[in-house]
Structure 1
Amino acid sequence: MSTFTRRATLSLLGATLATPYLVRSARAGTAINVGAMRLASHAPTYIAFERGYFTEAGLDVNFDYFEAAQPMAVAIASGDTGYAMTAISGGLISLAEKGVAKVIGGALAEEKGISGQKILASKAAYDAGLTDPSKLDGKTFGMTQAGSSFHYMGSKIAAAEGVEVHFKPLQKTGAVIGAIKSGQIDAWSIVPNIAATLADAGAVKIIGEVADYIPNYQVTTVFTSTRNAEQEDAQTKAFLQALARGAADYNAALVDQTTDAADKDAIVKLVASYVYPDRPIEDASASILSGAMRINSGMALNKASVVDQLEWFKSGGLVKDGITYETLVDDHYVDVLS
């Protein structure tokens, strides 16, 4: 396998976890960089770090922070970042086709009965009549980049409603937030904690649920370099199993609510310290609680959803038509959901 620098990678863009928590890294204290975003969907990473699960797995973790999925994919492929968890993007698929990146597990998922991602309208667009997704025809829909999860969601929503939307790439999630608050875009879709924060402030209106248009959507995945997937088996298992422990704590406290109040409060404070480091805990708590979506147990992967996403990318000419599920995914590390 060739070694790719970040510069070279940028140029390219023109066994299961059924028995949890038992595998340790072959080299105690192995240093790895883990990609992260300041979103509640990354909570398992922060919980695994703060509760010592990575350390117990023999991993010395340092966080690399990103504001969009595609730059994270570039960092993974170049080897600057070891593992990451975010949405499937056109950039990630193209890097997988080049043999330098692999999806190795699942993470955030839409699940019936649990509050999921919301479809938003700017206040100006809502006041002008955009009160539900059927009225999106001709409207501008925000996204980070072409081939991002926002592009995928907006396209699926528009197709289901039989309307045409105009996508506006804004590169970073923060820029999309600013654009919808100021009325520069008409609509967007985003995780519930961000949606609730914006709606509570009166900046947007929630006009629909993503799950009504994309049921069982595998929103985010865990991925790494092909080298790690193929040559660092013990390290990769150790990382995934530590991450799965963080996910289990998160689901128990905030999704299934099977823990006591003290543990729930501890998880909320832990997550808030990363996601909303500049906000008082009293303000951050409501957003963390409202944003609690399911993280797949054991980092299991929903194959049907990944295939659907891949076919959408291919149908739009965003990636090469010959790319297969096997090109993108190495699913031998986790359980596969049908």
Structure 2
Amino acid sequence: MFLALTTTSMADELVKLKVGVLRFSSSGPVFIAKDEGYFRDAGLDVEIVYFQAAPTVAAAAASGEITFGVTALTAAAYNLADAGKLTILAGQAQEKSGHPGNLVLVNRKAFEGGIDAIKKIFAEPFGLTQLGSPSHYQAARLAQSQEIAEDGLHIRAFQNLPNLVAALKSGLVTWAIIAPPIATDLIDAGAVVSLGPYSDYGSFQFGALFTSSALLADEPDVVRGFVDAYQKGLEDYSAIVLEPKSPGTPKAARTVGRYVYPELDPETAAGKIMASALYVDPTGRLDVEDIARQLEWYKANGLLKHVPPTDHIIDMRYLK
């Protein structure tokens, strides 16, 4: 049933599984848990599988193509959870005031043509990967923060990040909200201009760890071991954000940098991670109140059939 989960006949061998992520700094807890041996200590042999859009991670986890997903929360994930196919287990990144966040980007030509402030972007075409992605929700909340009617947004979907980047660079869309490192790479290349992090305008629960509800029912020890190792990686990663001068921070940043920026030298990669790492709750707790708000918004915009109770889709009992 679970293509991603293979138990062996010998008790002393590791359980093989796959975890789906995007190659972003917010996936850092997974990278650290693998690099530091936290997964192996829990009896798990974890393969990291990279995706180009968060909704496809949720679909892969629900189908058993991967065992766990650690990525942004989307309408697709919420619909699968409401249908009893996915369960959210722990938090990942959050947008939080005073911390780096996903960046509001404007095509450079448009910026030089006068689209140089938040108030000016909403009449321009906005690009995202898929409807129901976090940036869809963020764009609407950003409009609300500026007292702009969100139903006036001109939204175009491009299915994955490479397509979205190409559309933004070419001017097919004027603006987008994109996470580091892609956002910072675009800025460094001169293709876009940042109007600042989204976290300057609002906070929300951006991402989570989730698995199929069937795995949760059938293999609770595997779930317990994974969550325990993930939580250790989360605690190490949180030092980058919460204690940037602590002794463990450089090592954690270098570890994440190797995965996110494999083409860069270690110190440059670590510096980019230090400058852009999103806030995380070091215990893995979720902002349940914000998830409830997200569910209401997705339902109001026709992306959810109905609003499930949060305790129907969230199970944090494995967190310590």
- Name the TM-score, length of structure 1 as normaliser: 0.85
Is the deviation greater in 172-181 or in 70-79?
172-181
Percent identity over the alignment is: 32
Letter in 1 for 2:274: L
Indicate how the Cα distance of structure 1 residues 253 and 146 shifts in structure 2: closer, same or farther if over 3 A, else same: closer
Aligned to 1:316: 301
1:181 lines up with 2:166 in the alignment: no
- Contact 1:119–1:206 (CA under 8 A) maintained in structure 2: yes
Structure 1 position 258, deviation (Å)? 4.3
State the Cα deviation string for residues 95-146 of structure 1 (Å, max 9, x = none). Answer: 1222111111111012232222221111122112221221123211111101
Structure 1 position 28, deviation (Å)? 6.1
Aligned to 2:192: 204
Structure 1 position 255, deviation (Å)? 3.9
Aligned to 2:182: 194
Superposition map of 1:1-338 within 5 A: 29-161=14-146, 162-163=148-149, 164-215=152-203, 217-260=204-247, 263-281=248-266, 283-334=268-319
SS at match of 1:102: strand
- Contact 1:240–1:299 (CA under 8 A) maintained in structure 2: no
CA distance in 2, matches of 1:97, 1:219: 18
Letter in 2 for 1:224: T
Residues paired across the two proteins, number: 311
CA distance in 2, matches of 1:116, 1:88: 15
Structure 1 position 46, deviation (Å)? 0.7
Name structure 1 gaps, 5 residues minimum: 7-25
Structure 1 position 181, deviation (Å)? 2.1
SS at match of 2:283: helix
- Name the TM-score, length of structure 2 as normaliser: 0.89
Indicate how the Cα distance of structure 1 residues 27 and 295 shifts in structure 2: closer, same or farther if over 3 A, else same: farther
Letter in 2 for 1:294: Y
CA distance in 2, matches of 1:253, 1:89: 26
- Contact 1:102–1:330 (CA under 8 A) maintained in structure 2: yes
State the Cα deviation string for residues 202-232 of structure 1 (Å, max 9, x = none). Answer: 21111133123322x1110111000122332
Is the deviation greater in 276-285 or in 156-165?
276-285
Letter in 1 for 2:190: G
SS at match of 1:84: strand
Letter in 2 for 1:184: L
CA-based RMSD of the aligned residues comes to 2.3
Indicate how the Cα distance of structure 1 residues 138 and 190 shifts in structure 2: closer, same or farther if over 3 A, else same: same
Structure 1 position 272, deviation (Å)? 2.1
Structure 1 position 192, deviation (Å)? 4.2
Letter in 1 for 2:36: R
Indicate how the Cα distance of structure 1 residues 240 and 330 shifts in structure 2: closer, same or farther if over 3 A, else same: same
CA distance in 1, matches of 2:207, 2:12: 28
